[in-house]
Amino acid sequence: MNKAVFALFAGLSLAFAALGTVASPAHAVIYDLSADFSFTNNPNGVWAYEYNGSPLPAQNPVVGSGNPYLLAAANNTMFAPGNNMNVHSPMVFKAAVNGGAVSGSTNNHFLQDDILIHTPNSGLPLLMTWTAPGNGVIDFTGSIWYAHATVSRINTVSASLSSSLLGNATISPTSHGNRSNAWQVSGTGLAVSTGDKLIFSLQKASGQQFGSLNGIAIRVDYTPAAAAPVPLPAAAYLFGAGLVGLVGFARRRV
C-alpha cells in the first residue's frame, strides 16, 4: 500500500472514530402496574405496596366470608395484613373478572386485570410505590377511580416524586366515581436518580369510618441515562487528525 492510500485510510478511520464518540440514545423501559403484577412478591422489582412502614404480605382470602369481591381476586390472592376481606385492610389485588360479574358492580367499576385496592380502615395511607432502578428520565401516567359500587365513601389520593407533590384528588361516587371518569395525573421528562420514589398515596378521607375499593392504573416509561460520551476535546482531536490525513492525501495527488 503506497503512502497516499495509507493516508486516506488513516484519515477516514480517525474521522469516523471521532463521529463514533457520540453516545447512542438509550431506549425506554416500560413499567406497568397491572402487567408487572406478581401474585407472590412484594416488593416486586420496582413496585411495592406499603402500609404502616412495611410491604403488605401475600394472602389467600378465606372462602365463605360472604364478601362479593372474593370472586374478583385473581389467583385467589391479595396483599393485605390478613386473609379476611371483611376484616383486613388495606388490600391490593388484581381483578380476575369484569365488574359486571360481581354482585352490585358494573364493568364501569372495573375490568379484568385492573388493580383494585381497598384503602385502610385505620386512616393511615396505603402507598403504591415505583422506585427508580437507576439515573434517568421518566414519563408517567396514573389513574384512580372509585370502584366500590355497594357503598358510598370518600378517599383522598395524591401522587408525588421524591417528596414533590404532583397532584391530589378526592375519590368518591360523585368525584371520579367510575372507570370512565378516573382522576388522571401525569408527568413528562422528569429526572430521577437511583432510588427515587414515585408514590401514589391512598387513604380514607377524614370523618369516614371505613375505607373503600378503588381502581388504580400506573404506567412509567423509564429512559436510563445515556453512557457518557468522549469529552469534546478528545473527539475534536480525533476528527482533526482525520482531516490532516485527508489533506495529506490530497497534496500527494497534486
Is 29-224 assigned to CATH 3.40.50?
A: no
pTM above 0.85, yes or no: no
Q: Is the pLDDT confidence value at 156 over 50?
A: yes
d(CA 33, CA 165): 20
Q: What is the mean pLDDT of residues 119-128?
A: 98
% of the chain surpassing 70 pLDDT: 79
Q: Residues 13-37: what's their mean pLDDT?
A: 72
Confidence of residue 238 (pLDDT cuts 50, 70, 90): very low
Tell the burial category of 107 from Cβ atoms under 10 Å away from its Cβ (0-12, 13-18, 19+): middle
Write down the pLDDT at residue 94: 98
The C-alpha cell that represents 123 in the structure block: 386512616
pLDDT of residue 162: 94
d(CA 199, CA 181): 21
Query: What is the enclosing helix (H) or strand (E) of 5?
Result: helix 3-19
Phi, psi of 126 (to 5 degrees): -95, 130
Q: For the packed helices 232-253 and 3-19, what is the interaxial angle rounded to 10 degrees?
A: 160
In 3-state terms, what secondary structure has residue 50?
A: strand
What confidence category does residue 229 fall into, taking pLDDT thresholds of 50, 70 and 90?
Answer: low
> Who's near 81: CB < 8 A, 6+ residues apart?
51, 56, 57, 88, 89, 90
B/e letters for 184-215, b = 16+ CB within 10 Å, e = fewer, are ebebeebebeeebbbbbbbbbbeebeebbbbb
Round to whole Å and give the CA distance between 52 and 217.
22
CA distances from 42 to 30, 54, 77, 187, 203 (A): 19, 10, 12, 25, 20
More confident residue, 183 or 63: 183
**Peptide bond before 90: cis, by omega within 30 degrees of 0?**
yes
Contact by Cβ (8 Å): 217, 114: yes
What's the chain's average pLDDT?
Answer: 86
Lowest mean pLDDT across 46-55, 150-159, 205-214, 234-243: 234-243
Per-residue pLDDT at 16 exceeds 90: no
More confident residue, 19 or 70: 70
CA distances from 79 to 51, 92, 124, 171, 234 (A): 10, 5, 16, 22, 54
Question: Domain limits of the chain?
Answer: 3-22+231-253, 29-224
